[in-house]
Amino acid sequence: MADVKVPVLGESITEATLGEWLKNPGDPVKLDEPIASLETDKVSVEVPSPVAGVMGDQLVKVGDTVAVGAVIATIGEGGGAAAAPATPAPAPAAPAVATGEQTGPGEQVRERGADAAALSPSVRRAVLETGVDPSTVQGTGRDGRLTKDDVVAAAAAKPAAAPAAAPIPAPAAPASGGRKEERVRMTRLRQTVAKRLKEAQNTAAILTTFNDVDMTEVVAARTKYKDLFEKKHGVRLGFMGFFVKAAVQALRDIPSVNASIEGEEIVYHDYADISVAVSAPQGLVVPVIRDAQDLSVAGIEKTIGDFGKRAKEGTLKMEEMKGGTFTISNGGVFGSLMSTPIINPPQSAVLGLHRIEDRPVVRDGQIVIRPMMYLALSYDHRLVDGREAVTFLVALKNAIEDPTRLLIDL
């Protein structure tokens, strides 16, 4: 009999919430196979089995808070992978159609035992939402594991005639015509985001300044070189690479925007660790591009692409979320026209990017149509003066409107 303990979760993190059991009592377990998912302040962490055997008692419930080092389950002696049956158990005679509270996708997932248990939390959630049978999908992740994109693609490819066996009746409206409510416990990540954002508003003197940028030259460069760029570097050429490079250059010229307050001291950084906001199934996460000042546009795009992929899979590491001297948040990918982002303490500023939209502007006395984007810089007025904030945005605007400046260091 072996105990399964909560692993070390990272510096200063002492507890987590049990988000999901990936194995049920009696299931065969391989060495290092994930048996549970923990939610920390920043990411989801899978708990591996310390031995091969059979899943024993589950000592805590989903939603319970557990400390680092606490025993959450036991693994009994057994054949591990060898103990798994050669063929899957017979499926239910009738297809799982959601006609009440009988068998839905969630029950199907639980019935698949070892295969379902190996899925990451984000993949299991996608399976539950789409009703896709994970055993019928070829995984493209590491070691052939399923990713969320695999499940979404399989759901999109499902034959349209599949549900035609019997129409699913709409839920009967309550006789009283009353309104329904659902209460869902906030995840630890959402609680932490809420706490930190409110602390930022309560502590920092946040002010936002705006500008707009003509994206003509960057759009043209991307259109001209995107195919060659992807062929050479194996990653798509996006706009974030340009903005990170431009931000790094502007941060060097206006160091207070890259600084932070600690007690009664101002800490200036001679490096640029750029936090990039990335959407994940469990909420917004902010991994950090370390030493962005030393990276090429290709290096930046590769790093961001890797962050986005692993955020969807729930495999970002704790240390990848820590630190950061400046944040860039791109609300434009969701269609945002303008916003006032909140700074990420202890940083002193955050840059908000928005959607590109054709608008009439005046150039050389003529009204022309140009692809324009609004920029927003929220900053801590305790540290950054208005003149510095505006100068930063103008420097960034100039670099984007004339990308040659990035090459000749202007």
In degrees, rounded to 5, the angle at the alpha carbon of residue 292 between the alpha carbons of residues 287 and 294 is 150
- Between CA 331 and CA 106 the distance in angstroms is 33
Q: Tokens 């670099």: give the residue.
A: 399
Degrees to nearest 5, angle at CA 345 with 340 and 349: 45
Residue 156 burial by CB count (10 A; 0-12/13-18/19+): exposed, middle or buried?
A: exposed
Instruction: Specify whether the CB–CB gap between 378 and 400 falls below 8 A.
Output: no
Active site residue 273: no
Is 385 marked active-site?
yes
* Neighbouring residues of 372: CB distance < 8 A, sequence distance ≥ 6: 212, 213, 214, 215, 356, 357, 358, 359, 361
Calpha distance 406→410 (Å, rounded): 7
Judge contact between 323 and 182, C-beta under 8 A. Answer: no
* DSSP-derived secondary structure for 169-222: PPPPPPTT-PPP----PPPHHHHHHHHHHHHHHHHS-EEEEEEEEE-HHHHHHH
Catalytic residue among 57, 115, 381, 402: 381
Q: Which of 212, 385, 402, 409 is catalytic?
A: 385
Catalytic residues: 381, 385
